[in-house]
Structure 1
Amino acid sequence: MKGEGVPPTFSGLPCDDQSQWGDFKKKYSTTHRAMWETFNAWVIEQGAPPLPDMEFIHTSEQANLYVYPQEIDYTDQRPLDQTWHRMDSSVRDTDGDLELPESMKNRPEGSALIYLSLGSLGSADVDLMRRLVSILGKTRHRFIVSKGPQHASYELAENMYGAEFLPQIKIIPQVDLVITHGGNNTVVESMHFGKPMIVLPLFWDQYDNAQRIDETGFGVRLATYDFDDAEMVDAIDRLLNDHKLQDLLRETKARIQGNSGVKVGADVIESVGRKYRETQQSL
């Protein structure tokens, strides 16, 4: 989403400090313009209109959908026209069930259940995953770990359970905290189920999601490869013991789940389809 008050896309820069926005835009243009020009030429060759400058997709004149919870959206920084429709969430219901091991369900007093998932690319960084396992393995908490494609390349600590693939939608409702790379799906799903987040961004929109989660108070952004061990442990403890945040997350969960994003999207698509059919019938 772009707007005068919105940080440059993919920058991960804060809303309240524009001092680095200009430099980022220049560097982004330098590194991406040639690619954009090639792609735009291809788009035109296919018979489509030219793309807006440095944009890689067209905007529809009829309807545009995006998935992002209102609480972390840039609603104050960039009012959108009437073609835009926000879906607060779009949570699938196709994951299989997950029966947690007794060690995860019957935890010692004061031990939280935490989900760690860095996506397929993040979890492929074995050194990063080993470091996280080492840090988190020393805490009193229990962890469910999405191990990813390199699952056989590292071992989990005794206070952990994990597998290459896990039914995330079945896990997030059961945990107290989510440690994530900041992918849009996991961010939206965590907000949908009212869970605080620690975000370790790796690329693209993950930086923006991480910054937005941090500056709106729904979690903590850490420097993925530069955080101190104590920073991670402190972030976990602060979020788990932030009772005001827990209250806010309960309210957020109720609002998002009470305003079906799937229905919003379906209604918009149906409306566009009906208008198109009426137009065709009138010809």
Structure 2
Amino acid sequence: MADRELTVLFMPESAYGPTNNCIGIGDVLRRRGHRVVFAAEASWKGRLAPLGFEEALVDLAPPPEEGGAEQDAGQFWKDYIAEISPQFRKTTSEQLETVVKPIYEELISGVRYAEPQLRRIIAEVRPDVVVEDNVVLFPALATADAPFVRMLSCNPLEMPGPDVPPPFSGLATGERRAATAFHAEFERTHGAMWADFNAYVQEQGAPALPHMRFMPEGDLNLYLYPEVADYTDRRPLGDGWHRLDSSVRRTGGPAELPDHIAKGEGSLIYFSLGSLGSADVDLMRRVIDVLGGTSHRYIVSKGPRHDEIELPPNMWGEEFLSQTEILPLVDLVITHGGNNTVTESFHFGKPMIVLPLFWDQYDNAQRVQELGFGLRMDAYGFRPDELRAGVESLLGNVGLRRHLDEIGAAIREREGVVRAADLIQSAAR
């Protein structure tokens, strides 16, 4: 039990990864006797209270007209990704204009719309500490009369350094000329938007943002990435930063699988393009068609358009799966490379094939490959034989799988959610 009850206000981005990260940490704090409040996006209504949290939800855009259907959690981003998914076929440099910039624009629009709501929530909740897990600053959180904790649950390249690749680039470490060109393109495509947002942030009473960055450092800064894959040898951290090797919330134990998947022949493989990437049904079908001809068994996270996806006999899946219950059971993970799935795969010691689509997924894919923990493949350009050969090579690499088992055991011992809760608790006091 806590020696003094604290009020902790979390505001995660509306995607599942950041929200689940905050849920895991918030659960530790709640069990210690603290009051945990979520200022999550309004589509999460009714999904956080059953977990023991208070809901003080915000709209990031005008609510739907009266009589409209209630949205599922994170539905806005699912619809948005489905709309722009044709852009995922472009290079990372081209995506700066057609994917990354529009996402920042939508996020900033949400900040402006939510600012008055957040100020009212802060006045009513009176938090002892506020935690934001997002890629853009909500000024109301940084100007509250409480310590401000920045949570970074994307790839840590968002913490810049002279000897690391630029975020969103998917470049290998050491590609200095390409990195310089990518930095220049980012400033060209995002410079005016950053300047406008920086002015807005200061108008709301918050300090100026660092140059070309949409989030400042907080009083406490936490980031989510396993030490074994981090960039600290090239970009040492400042004193205010603390790494969480993983952030995996408690679950009810291993998942229950159908008999033909649990007891069949071949290895067991998990395939997920995340709640956003799985909205690209054509890509989902192509991967499923290629894997359906192998001798292995598959668990498939079918995503929001699950009713449009048919699975062959060697596969089983549902719209949503409890990933942390699935991962301990499998031998290999095929993923889009979202930070949540990548860090959880390390947490459970699993090799990966990464099919990146957008944002930091390219950075995670490159890091996994260049360190030898898996393979990076072109999500839209892979050859069927290339994917099948990649599956067999990783399953057959006994040394790698043993090494990842040891890495996973070490990560689990560090209990990232407990460390995060300790640090947040200390910041509040």
TM-score by length of 1: 0.93
Q: Shift of the alpha carbon at 1:98?
A: 2.8
Paired residues of 1:67 and 1:88 also in contact (CA < 8 A)? yes
Q: Kindly provide the amino acid, as one letter, of the partner of residue 106 in structure 1.
A: K
- For residues 173-192 of structure 1, what are the structure 2 equivalents within 5 Å? 173-192=328-347
CA distance in structure 2 between the partners assigned to 1:107 and 1:90 by the alignment: 31
CA distance in structure 2 between the partners assigned to 1:260 and 1:39 by the alignment: 36
**Residues 202-241 of structure 1: per-residue CA shift (max 9 Å, x gap):** 1111111111111111111101111111111111111111
Partner of 2:381: 226
Q: Shift of the alpha carbon at 1:96?
A: 7.9
CA distance in structure 2 between the partners assigned to 1:48 and 1:136 by the alignment: 51
Paired residues of 1:6 and 1:78 also in contact (CA < 8 A)? yes
Residue 86 of structure 1 aligns to a residue whose secondary structure is strand
Q: Which of 249, 262, 267 does residue 105 from structure 1 map onto?
A: 262
Q: Kindly provide the amino acid, as one letter, of the partner of residue 245 in structure 1.
A: L
Paired residues of 1:192 and 1:256 also in contact (CA < 8 A)? yes
CA distance in structure 2 between the partners assigned to 1:237 and 1:191 by the alignment: 20
CA distance in structure 2 between the partners assigned to 1:95 and 1:201 by the alignment: 30
Paired residues of 1:97 and 1:167 also in contact (CA < 8 A)? no
Partner of 1:92: 249
Partner of 2:192: 34
Residue 246 of structure 1 aligns to a residue whose secondary structure is helix
Q: Which of 127, 136, 159 does residue 314 from structure 2 map onto?
A: 159
Paired residues of 2:249 and 2:417 also in contact (CA < 8 A)? no
CA distance in structure 2 between the partners assigned to 1:155 and 1:250 by the alignment: 33
Partner of 2:240: 83
Question: Are positions 1:259 and 2:414 aligned together?
Answer: yes
CA distance in structure 1 between the partners assigned to 2:166 and 2:191 by the alignment: 15
**Residues 115-172 of structure 1: per-residue CA shift (max 9 Å, x gap):** 0110122111111011011100000011100001111112111110011111111001
Q: Shift of the alpha carbon at 1:247?
A: 1.6
Q: Kindly provide the amino acid, as one letter, of the partner of residue 70 in structure 1.
A: E
CA distance in structure 1 between the partners assigned to 2:347 and 2:300 by the alignment: 20
- Over 3 Å counting, the alpha-carbon distance change for 1:144 and 1:101 in structure 2 is same
Partner of 1:278: none
Runs of 4 or more consecutive aligned structure 1 residues displaced over 6 Å after TM superposition: none
CA distance in structure 2 between the partners assigned to 1:86 and 1:156 by the alignment: 39
CA distance in structure 1 between the partners assigned to 2:297 and 2:343 by the alignment: 23
Gaps of 5+ in 2: 1-158
Q: Kindly provide the amino acid, as one letter, of the partner of residue 212 in structure 1.
A: R
Q: Shift of the alpha carbon at 1:183?
A: 0.6
Residue 428 of structure 2 aligns to a residue whose secondary structure is helix
Question: Are positions 1:43 and 2:201 aligned together?
Answer: yes
Paired residues of 2:355 and 2:378 also in contact (CA < 8 A)? yes
CA distance in structure 1 between the partners assigned to 2:252 and 2:356 by the alignment: 25
Question: Are positions 1:149 and 2:314 aligned together?
Answer: no
- For residues 233-248 of structure 1, what are the structure 2 equivalents within 5 Å? 233-248=388-403
Q: Which of 342, 354, 360 does residue 205 from structure 1 map onto?
A: 360
Q: Which of 156, 163, 168 does residue 5 from structure 1 map onto?
A: 163
Paired residues of 2:254 and 2:329 also in contact (CA < 8 A)? no
CA distance in structure 1 between the partners assigned to 2:390 and 2:162 by the alignment: 32
Gaps of 5+ in 1: 275-283
Aligned length: 271
CA distance in structure 2 between the partners assigned to 1:43 and 1:174 by the alignment: 46
Residue 333 of structure 2 aligns to a residue whose secondary structure is strand
- Over 3 Å counting, the alpha-carbon distance change for 1:3 and 1:142 in structure 2 is same
CA distance in structure 2 between the partners assigned to 1:226 and 1:159 by the alignment: 24
Percent of pairs identical after alignment?
Answer: 56
Q: Kindly provide the amino acid, as one letter, of the partner of residue 37 in structure 1.
A: A
Q: Kindly provide the amino acid, as one letter, of the partner of residue 90 in structure 1.
A: S
Paired residues of 2:254 and 2:328 also in contact (CA < 8 A)? no
- Aligned-residue CA RMSD in angstroms? 1.3
Partner of 2:280: 125
Q: Kindly provide the amino acid, as one letter, of the partner of residue 234 in structure 1.
A: A
Paired residues of 2:368 and 2:374 also in contact (CA < 8 A)? yes
CA distance in structure 2 between the partners assigned to 1:115 and 1:228 by the alignment: 20
Paired residues of 1:95 and 1:168 also in contact (CA < 8 A)? no
Q: Shift of the alpha carbon at 1:266?
A: 1.7
